[in-house]
Amino acid sequence: MHNKGMMHNWRLWSLLALPLLWVGGVYGLSLLVLLVQSFFAIDDFSGVVKYELTLKTYYEFFSYNHLEIVWRTMAMAMLVTITCFFIGFPIAWYTARYTSGYKRMICYILIMVPLWSSYLVRVYAWKMILAKEGIMSYIFGILGLKPLLEWVLDTDIIGGPSLSFSMIGTYIVLVYLWLPFMIIPMEAGFRKIPNQLIDAARDLGANRQQIFKHVIVPNGLPAVVAGSIFTFSLSMGDYITPQIIGNSKYFIGNAVYTFQGLAGNIPLAAAFSMAAIVIMMIYLFFAKKMGAFHAL
């Protein structure tokens, strides 16, 4: 019996060896290198990285301009996540509670269809849609809402020359890109809510609002938080969409790309990367507290 247990453990560890080596040796080591590099700094005179441990890069990182990038990224990620929830909730609820068999398969296909094409193809397609001569501008013109569009584009924070070069355009495209990642976990979580709970609440005289508040929300919240992990993290790390659709204002991903590639300031790029990792670790901590991992 003891030998069988040892054989089982040996087989298990042999199967896990390669994944653990990848996660620990490649991914974990990369994060460690990032952490160490963030404590180096650029020499002001030569522009070369000085491999001496210092907090100079973090002093630079905590300047107003750099913190503004972090807050902007977090605000956009939260706004995208909230919007994906409000759009995705009725879709996920309908798919989970009112479809089955062939009908549910059709719903899954419709949800997943956007993911079947290339990421870049979808982003550039939206760039054409949101362009000044694109179909979105044409629709606003037909509806007589062109002055409203121009007023939005003239707004300092969200505006720009056109929707395809604005913060609001970035927001629209990010919502489109990551919406399926919110719907799928929510749909899976809503499907696990027992019908007996809803029937029992109805038998006890609860109306729709009370059923939603006391049955659906507590049981469906972990699935919502699980979906938000994907939309928040993907929005946090995206740098291609803000670069193609957005204006000149940086997000964390753009800052990492610029400081690492164009400016050659690897320590500052590493500091931005560590900031994103810390933010996601805090987010995951609270998501775990809310039971999101059980809904995945």
- At 184, the amino acid letter reads I
Domain extent listing, the chain: 75-295
- The pLDDT tens digits of the residues spanning 9-64 come to 777 777 777 877 877 777 788 888 888 888 988 877 777 888 888 888 898 888 88
Query: Quick check: 156 and 165 in contact, CB under 8 A?
Result: no
Contact 244, 254 (CB under 8 A): no
Q: Which CATH number fits domain 75-295: 2.60.15.10, 1.10.760.10, 1.10.10.10, 1.10.3720.10?
A: 1.10.3720.10
How far is it, in rounded angstroms, from Cα 169 to Cα 287? Answer: 29
The answer to whether 274 touches 282, Cβ cutoff 8 Å, is no
Asked if residue 153 has pLDDT above 80, the reply is: yes
Q: Which residues of 15-30 are buried (b: 16+ CB within 10 A; e: fewer)?
A: eeeeeeeeeeeeeeee
Q: End-to-end alpha-carbon separation of the chain, Å?
A: 35
What's this model's pTM, rounded to 2 decimal places? 0.87
Percent of the chain with pLDDT over 90: 31
**Which one-letter DSSP state was computed for residue 204?**
T
* Phi, psi at 207, each rounded to 5°: -85, -175
pLDDT tens, position by position, 208-251: 888 888 888 888 889 999 999 999 999 998 989 998 987 778 89
Other Cβ atoms closer than 10 A to 115:
12
Can you give the pLDDT at residue 201? Answer: 83
Beta bridge partners of 293: none
pLDDT of residue 2: 53
